[in-house]
Structure 1
Amino acid sequence: MTLETPEVARNWSCVLFDLDGTLTDSAPGITHSLERMFEAIGRPVHSEEELLAYVGPPLAVTLRDREDFTEAEAAHALEVYRSFAEESDLVDNAVFPGIAGLLKSLAAQGIPVATATSKPERRARRILEHFGLADCITFVGGASDDESRAEKADVIAYTLAELEKLGVDTSRPVMVGDRFYDVEGASANDVPTIMVEWGYGSPAEAKGAMAVVHSVDQLRSLLLGQAVAA
């Protein structure tokens, strides 16, 4: 879903990153945990391709929308899923090549970085610490454990508010993600989005994004204020 955009670089005051599919390749662990969840609750197990659709949006919402689960059924399934995901978060997961260096470059340039993920905040922090990325993150923004804050728009609003409390300039933020949930959530907060091509989204999900990048080097150019050649 490459979109060549020669002039989109700005003097960003802070950068918000999605986690799954943007910073880390977590799909293997997520889909495996979903398989175990469906088996444990006695539901049919979907194909791996179908399970990839679950990566990104809040799980309870997806279960209600895609599986017609009731509120109670979705809450129970979420609890079961998390019991498996706690392990897979650190085992069937990896940082995408070049991401660690990019975060260090942003930190070196004094550009505050935060996460804005639908993954529970506690688990997101644990993952970042495990992979040695936490020192580059000013604030770890994520969903609440009870998913009362799980929609991406709410997570982004919360993350921006918490950054402001820390004295971060949030006047020129940019969101980096891989799914249309990131674009929609950022747009609801008047934040532009750069979509990454290495994640789990489809070309159609890039609609509304300011730019789509196919490599970490291209993303680095946009975030550090350098124009990208057409």
Structure 2
Amino acid sequence: MAAAPLVLLDLDGTLTDSGPGIFACAADAFRTLGLPVPTAAELRTFVGPPIADSFRAHGVPADRVRDAVTAYRAAFVAGGMYDNAVFDGIPEALRRLRADGCRLVVATSKPQVYAEPICARFGLDVLVDGVFGAPPDDVPSTKADVIAAALAAIGDWSRGTTVMVGDREHDAAGAAAHGLRCVGVSWGYAGHGELERAGAVEVVDSPSALVATVRRLVGLTD
């Protein structure tokens, strides 16, 4: 019997608008370290990649990245992680895909220890079949690594009926590392043309369009 379609879902910028909390916590970390706070446009790029990578990319010296992450997490667990909201239309889209027989799992570069309570707080945990996050901040990890862990845990899946859904280039690159297609969403934090350049097979503009695109790509028909 063929495996049921599998949809891997990014969290930040795809299911939830976590930007406000991430921006505030990152800015707080720069201030704590006595470093210039990046511009609003630069802070937008913090949504998606592992947080240590973002600090390195924005001028934090290598020997201070750990301190920056520690300061960020202090603000994050103090409340920043819940300065967040589910995008309109996402719950309905997830319900539709599950009703159509898709298995849905979150695959996020956010550490698992934070991803699970965030999904629970916003009611996403009951709409998906699992939540897979990254290891702790001090363990190097990529989106490809997270996807690998999710696929290994699921076991029964097929490339032809599996897609990754995300809002940043890291999602497309992680999917490509496993020979999977990535559907990009335009409501997240990608720069102009970022998803297309990274290899997303399509970019959709609404949760309803996401449902239609995923159904077509995994071979579901009415």
Give the TM-score of the pair, scaled to structure 2.
Answer: 0.89
Q: Amino acid of the residue matched to residue 126 of structure 2?
A: D
CA distance in 1, matches of 2:150, 2:102: 15
Equivalent residues in 2 for 1:97-176, closer than 5 Å: 97-164=88-155, 168-171=156-159, 172-176=161-165
1:53 counterpart = 2:50:
no
- Equivalent of 1:209 in 200, 204, 207: 200
CA distance in 1, matches of 2:190, 2:87: 15
Secondary structure at the counterpart of residue 117 of structure 1 = strand
- Equivalent of 1:36 in 28, 34, 38: 28
1:75 counterpart = 2:82:
no
Kept in 1, the 8 Å contact 2:185–2:205? The answer is yes
Secondary structure at the counterpart of residue 57 of structure 2 = helix
Kept in 2, the 8 Å contact 1:197–1:212? The answer is yes
CA distance in 1, matches of 2:126, 2:132: 14
Secondary structure at the counterpart of residue 45 of structure 2 = helix
- Equivalent of 1:95 in 71, 77, 86: 86
User: Which residue does 1:64 correspond to in 2?
Assistant: 56
User: Which residue does 1:8 correspond to in 2?
Assistant: none
Give the TM-score of the pair, scaled to structure 1.
Answer: 0.86
Kept in 2, the 8 Å contact 1:12–1:174? The answer is no
Kept in 2, the 8 Å contact 1:118–1:155? The answer is yes
Kept in 2, the 8 Å contact 1:163–1:170? The answer is no
Kept in 1, the 8 Å contact 2:143–2:171? The answer is yes
What stretches of structure 1 move > 3 A for 4+ residues in a row?
Answer: none
Kept in 1, the 8 Å contact 2:13–2:187? The answer is yes
The gaps in structure 1 that reach 5 residues or longer are 1-10
Structure with more contact order per residue of length (Cα contacts < 8 Å, sep ≥ 6): 1
Kept in 1, the 8 Å contact 2:7–2:165? The answer is yes
CA distance in 2, matches of 1:205, 1:188: 17
The gaps in structure 2 that reach 5 residues or longer are none
Please report how far the alpha carbon of residue 12 of structure 1 lies from its aligned counterpart in structure 2 after TM superposition: 7.0
Name the stretch that deviates more: 189-198 or 215-224: 215-224
Kept in 1, the 8 Å contact 2:166–2:185? The answer is yes
RMSD, matched Cα: 1.8
Q: Amino acid of the residue matched to residue 153 of structure 2?
A: E
Aligned residues: 212
Percent of residue pairs bearing the same amino acid type? 39
Secondary structure at the counterpart of residue 36 of structure 1 = helix
1:137-193 deviation line (CA, Å, top 9, x unaligned): 2121111113425211111111111111xxx43443100001111111110111100
Secondary structure at the counterpart of residue 222 of structure 1 = helix
Q: Amino acid of the residue matched to residue 178 of structure 2?
A: N
Secondary structure at the counterpart of residue 11 of structure 2 = coil
Please report how far the alpha carbon of residue 196 of structure 1 lies from its aligned counterpart in structure 2 after TM superposition: 0.3
Q: Amino acid of the residue matched to residue 81 of structure 2?
A: D
Please report how far the alpha carbon of residue 68 of structure 1 lies from its aligned counterpart in structure 2 after TM superposition: 4.8
1:187-206 deviation line (CA, Å, top 9, x unaligned): 01111000000000023212
